[in-house]
Structure formats: C-alpha cells, structure tokens
Amino acid sequence: MAFSDLRKYSGGFGLSLAALVMANLIPLFGVVFLGWGLITVLMLFCLEALVVGVTYLIKIFISYTSSSSQGKIALVIMVFYFLHFSVFITVYTLILINLFAPPEYEHIFYSMNIGDLFEKLLIEMELKWAFAALVFSNVVSLVFVYIGGREYQKADPAELMFVPYKYLFSIHFGFLIGAHIAVIFGMTTMPFLSVLLILKTAMDLRWYFKEQDKMH
C-alpha cells in the first residue's frame, strides 16, 4: 500500500473501510461474547462468499451498461459467471459442511431447501446481523467506491469475473488452513478462533488497500 496519499481513503473510501472493519468485528464479537463455534463462523463465510459473488455480478452489469463496445461480450460473461459461481458456492458450502460440521449438522443441512437453510443460518444460528453487515459493507463499497469513485469506467468485465475467486482463495483459504489445524489438535476454542478472525481482518484490510491502489 502507498501511504503517501491517504486522502483517497477519505469520504466514500473511508466509509467503505469502516463498513469492512465493522463486518469483520461482528463475528469476532460473536466468538468472544456469544459463544460462536467454528461451524457458525464457517457458515458465515459461506454467506460472505455469496454476498461477494452477487456484488461482482452487479459490478459486471454496471461495467456492461457503461460500455457499449463491450456490451455483448459482457452479457455473455454475466451469464457464464452466474452459472459457474452458483456451482462454486454450492460446492464450497458442501465442502465446509463435510470437513467441519458435526454429524447432526450434516443431516440438517442436506435435508433443507434453500429457504429453510437461510432461515437456519440467519435466525437459529444468529447470523442475521453479521449477514446484514456483510451486505452493508459490499453495498457501501459498490455505491461509494465502484460507482461514486467511477471505478466501473476502468473495470474489465472479463477480469471482474475472477476477482471473487482471488478474494475467497486468498482470504478464506488461510483461515480454513488454520481451522483445519485447530480441529486436528483440538484447539477450536474462543482464543484460537479469535486470533484466526483477527488475522482474517488483517488480510481483508490488506486486500482492500491493494485493490484501491490498483485503481488509483
């Protein structure tokens, strides 16, 4: 990150940064004060992946509407992106359930339809406020940074299609390695999960600054 010009992180960029930090602090609060376990945090990660995927679909659409020269190809990219990301998020969720969920959770998740699954995640697992914070963070970034900062004018729909995968693999993968080690050694306790979430927040911030530096 180039710290020589911090003014570019004021205004909409600063609000986006604050929303990102808030979205990361809520699961940390859940682990420390509400007794959230590993599976709850990982299910929130699945919701985060969904929010990120939808956000980038909207970004591709905005880029498509702002560039008549790329109109046709961007429309094809949108459809292709929607299809393969839908497969990805489904497989991603199933992998997390198989690797980390207790046996009783596996039965519950596999027997549910989409509506019931969302109800369990948002209501029974108390993820509604964490999910709302993720949505808010992405909406703020979309409105004030991508649109307000006119990043869509520089965006390439073909490149946008791969950004969610880069984000999820760079941010989530590190946490999942730590979570797997925690399970192996029986360290899925509040202090260890808190450390993992703090590291995840640091990686999120690093990603944020890196992406902003690319666009300025």
> Where are the domains positioned within the chain?
6-215
Q: What's the pLDDT score for residue 6?
A: 44
Give phi and psi for 4, each to the nearest 5: -70, -25
- The tens-digit pLDDT sequence of the chain (216 residues) is 443 444 455 567 889 999 999 999 999 999 999 999 998 999 899 999 999 999 999 999 888 877 655 656 777 888 899 999 999 998 898 888 888 877 766 666 666 666 677 777 777 778 999 999 999 999 999 999 999 988 888 888 888 999 999 999 888 888 888 888 888 877 778 999 999 999 999 999 999 888 877 766
Q: What's the pLDDT score for residue 99?
A: 84
Within 10 angstroms of residue 82's Cβ, the number of other Cβ atoms is 13
Cβ(101)–Cβ(109) below 8 Å: yes
Q: Which amino acid is at 36?
A: W
Mean confidence (pLDDT) of the chain: 84
Q: Which amino acid is at 156?
A: D
d(CA 15, CA 13): 5
Give phi and psi for 17, each to the nearest 5: -65, -45
d(CA 116, CA 109): 9
Cβ(24)–Cβ(18) below 8 Å: no
> Can you say how many angstroms the Cα of residue 68 is from the centroid of all Cα atoms in its chain?
30
